[in-house]
Structure 1
Amino acid sequence: MAEIKLQGHTLKSFDLKTKPIMQEYLKDFDVNVSDYSFCANYIWLSKASGFYSIINNTFCLFVMNGGELSMLLPPLGKPQDCYDSIPECFKIMNENNTSTYYSKIEYVCDNFLEGFITHTNEGEVMFSSLDNYIIEKKLADYIYVSDDLIELKGNAYHTKRTEINKFKRVYPNYFLQTLDCKKHSDDIKMLFDKWVSDRIKYVPKAEVDAFLDGIYQERLAIKKCLQDYETLGLDGLVIYIDDELKGFTIGEKICSDTASVLIEKTDFETLGCAQFIFREFSKVLKEKYDCKYINVGDDMGFENLKKVKMSYRPEKIIPKYTIYQKL
């Protein structure tokens, strides 16, 4: 992919070789938001859309969409360097874009935002009263105590325990395996196709277009997960009933005390399978990483997904923001 030169900076292709570079800068961002990992960005970006540049000692991740440039994360690095890099990043985006409306920094975590707002430069508040920027609250990550997902204690989880017990009773011939890309890839792709066919029947008409857009992106993400599974350092679990795959899930560690579930899909018609594999994968992540928390990402704005994630009683709901410049 060709490089992009803007404002004296070279934006390079964001690909698998970028992983060690980005991870070095992520060391200064020990946050439990799912977007702050190389893999979470790599799998969702098409090969032609991702770019990065090192600006003021920070890692800056850009995405080109329809010819317009924006940022998928705030600059990564030491806080002082990150805050100082923001104006330069907007200059880069504005030089490329047809309108400053398209210049934005997405998935800004609250810790970064708080520091940005109160950041001082030569004794003056950088953007006092948000004079120069607009902050818009977007989606939020759902974060759970890992032991809660494993033990499912108390009345709040009664329904989950019932669904799992019924699954084990109805399908005593189930078996779990660690995900093996060579062994399971074809079955995973077939299950995903079946899930799409089953799920779209229940999508409200107003959400169909967004659902189909999301499916295209998710299919790409699954393909990249399987293709680069070992290099990305992912963990996964599959569940079979007899010789038929009924569910799979993929995750990773994202910070010192938190693991993340990137993707989970189960046969829509196999009741209790989703609850069962989610609990079992929580065990895998807790055992491997001794993680106190598990992040399952945001709800993408889908009301049904929000209900499911709320039903597991999240310990934290962490908001994410987008930063715009005022016109």
Structure 2
Amino acid sequence: MSSLIVNERVLKHFNLSAKETMDHYLKMVDVDLSDYTFAGNYIWLSNSTGFYAIVNNTFCLFILSSGVLTMLLPPLGKQEDTYDAILECFEIMNAHNEDKRYSKIEYVHENILEGFLDYLEEGTVIFDMLKDFIIEKKLVDYIYKTDDLIDLKGNPYKVKRNEINRFKNVYPNYRIEILDKQAHGDKVLALFNKWVSDRTRHMPHEDSEVFLDGIYFERFAIKRLVNDYDKLDLIGIVIYIDDELKGFTVGERISENTSSVIIEKTDFEIFGCAQFIFREFSKILKERYGSEYINVGDDMGFENLKKVKMSYRPDKLIPKYTIYQK
């Protein structure tokens, strides 16, 4: 599907050709959420249909899923253009959807919500505006000081240090390489398939169905990441043990002082490998981008993932909101 027409408005297909345009508008938005990048959305939209349009001088990213049109991000651009763009985007979604209750704008940063309130027409009462919308807090992004992840100082990081030291003692012949599509692409996909098999084998049977539903989408995302890696301004590393690829991780710069980790996978059977590659990648992100902070995204509502991300002592938890119309 190359485009979608709603109320004579043409929504263009969201593909690699949209990168330059989206990047232009992202420069006008000062946020440190991991969702506000071209690559992050392009990769995870690999099994869905994305569309975009320029609405009131803002970049607007839509997703069409099961016949329902929603927005993956709020309009991106100058704050003074955002409020009117939000209203117009709801009109677009409502015109396509059977019920306006399906229409929503996800992953809204609190800075944009402030703009949503600040740029109302003169004389508008805040409560009058809110009576037309529901603003719901959803997940949070976990953001760490880069030096904390590298140094792992103090008692709170004692377990992490022990896991890394054990890994280095048991596997002294490891090596780290910068990810290269040609050299590592097939091995990255093979490791991911092994990771899925191992995780399925070790998890309770009642949890496996939900897990496999999510993996279906993640497999598409990793394939797209590998296929288009050289075009997405990403950086990644892989770790080898005895000449076998046992882990990989990929990230990008998302703001002047913050980078993100998009994905990380390690061999489930190599104890300490995940902790080790995370620390080594933190060093790479600091060296390459000078990043003071690293954002590892949200926990997708999974309690076990929340525990892991909290165990690294985040410096900031940045909330993300969803806007609905009443």
Tell me the TM-score range normalised by the shorter chain.
over 0.9
Deviation at 1:129, TM superposition (A): 6.2
Contact 2:48–2:65 (Cα < 8 Å) also in 1: no
Considering only aligned residues, what root-mean-square deviation do their CA atoms show, in Å? 1.4
- Secondary structure of the residue that 2:301 maps to in structure 1? coil
Distance 1:196 1:47, change over 3 A: closer
Deviation at 1:227, TM superposition (A): 0.9
Q: What aligned pairs does 1:138-217 form with structure 2 within 5 A after superposition?
A: 138-203=138-203, 207-217=207-217
- Secondary structure of the residue that 1:81 maps to in structure 2? helix
CA distances 1:276-327 after superposition (whole Å, capped 9, x unpaired) = 000000000000100110000011111111110000000011111110000x
Distance 1:60 1:270, change over 3 A: same
Match for 1:103: what amino acid? S
Contact 2:181–2:230 (Cα < 8 Å) also in 1: no
Identity %: 63
Contact 2:146–2:291 (Cα < 8 Å) also in 1: yes
CA distances 1:207-255 after superposition (whole Å, capped 9, x unpaired) = 4443222211211111111111111011000001012111000000001
Provide the rounded CA distance (Å) in 1 between the counterparts of 2:7 and 2:122.
24
Deviation at 1:7, TM superposition (A): 2.7
Stretches of structure 1 lacking an aligned partner (at least 5 in a row): none
Provide the rounded CA distance (Å) in 2 between the counterparts of 1:32 and 1:19.
19
Provide the rounded CA distance (Å) in 1 between the counterparts of 2:138 and 2:293.
22
Match for 2:149: what amino acid? L
- TM-score, normalised to structure 2, is 0.96
Contact 1:119–1:126 (Cα < 8 Å) also in 2: no
Tell me the equivalent position of 1:99: 99
Provide the rounded CA distance (Å) in 1 between the counterparts of 2:253 and 2:135.
29
Tell me the equivalent position of 1:52: 52
- Secondary structure of the residue that 1:240 maps to in structure 2? strand
Match for 1:35: what amino acid? D
Provide the rounded CA distance (Å) in 1 between the counterparts of 2:127 and 2:100.
18
Q: What aligned pairs does 1:1-327 form with structure 2 within 5 A after superposition?
A: 1-46=1-46, 49-125=49-125, 128=128, 130-203=130-203, 207-326=207-326
Contact 1:119–1:125 (Cα < 8 Å) also in 2: no
Match for 1:114: what amino acid? E
Provide the rounded CA distance (Å) in 2 between the counterparts of 1:100 and 1:209.
31
Match for 1:181: what amino acid? K
Deviation at 1:47, TM superposition (A): 6.4
Q: Which moved more, 1:216-225 or 1:86-95?
A: 216-225
Stretches of structure 2 lacking an aligned partner (at least 5 in a row): none
CA distances 1:151-198 after superposition (whole Å, capped 9, x unpaired) = 100101000000000000000111111101101111111110111111
Distance 1:157 1:89, change over 3 A: same
Distance 1:209 1:107, change over 3 A: farther
Q: Which moved more, 1:143-152 or 1:109-118?
A: 109-118
Distance 1:306 1:47, change over 3 A: closer
Contact 1:15–1:47 (Cα < 8 Å) also in 2: no
Provide the rounded CA distance (Å) in 2 between the counterparts of 1:137 and 1:128.
20
Q: Which moved more, 1:117-126 or 1:249-258?
A: 117-126
Moved segments of 4+, more than 3 Å = 125-129, 201-210
Match for 2:298: what amino acid? D
Contact 2:82–2:115 (Cα < 8 Å) also in 1: no
Provide the rounded CA distance (Å) in 1 between the counterparts of 2:49 and 2:286.
34
Provide the rounded CA distance (Å) in 2 between the counterparts of 1:304 and 1:24.
37
Provide the rounded CA distance (Å) in 1 between the counterparts of 2:85 and 2:213.
32
Match for 1:54: what amino acid? I
CA distances 1:24-66 after superposition (whole Å, capped 9, x unpaired) = 0001112110000000100001366000000110100000000
Contact 2:132–2:325 (Cα < 8 Å) also in 1: yes
CA distances 1:122-147 after superposition (whole Å, capped 9, x unpaired) = 33146646110011111111000000
Match for 2:226: what amino acid? L
Provide the rounded CA distance (Å) in 1 between the counterparts of 2:320 and 2:180.
33
- Secondary structure of the residue that 2:192 maps to in structure 1? helix
Contact 2:48–2:63 (Cα < 8 Å) also in 1: no
Q: Which moved more, 1:112-121 or 1:88-97?
A: 112-121
Provide the rounded CA distance (Å) in 2 between the counterparts of 1:52 and 1:168.
47
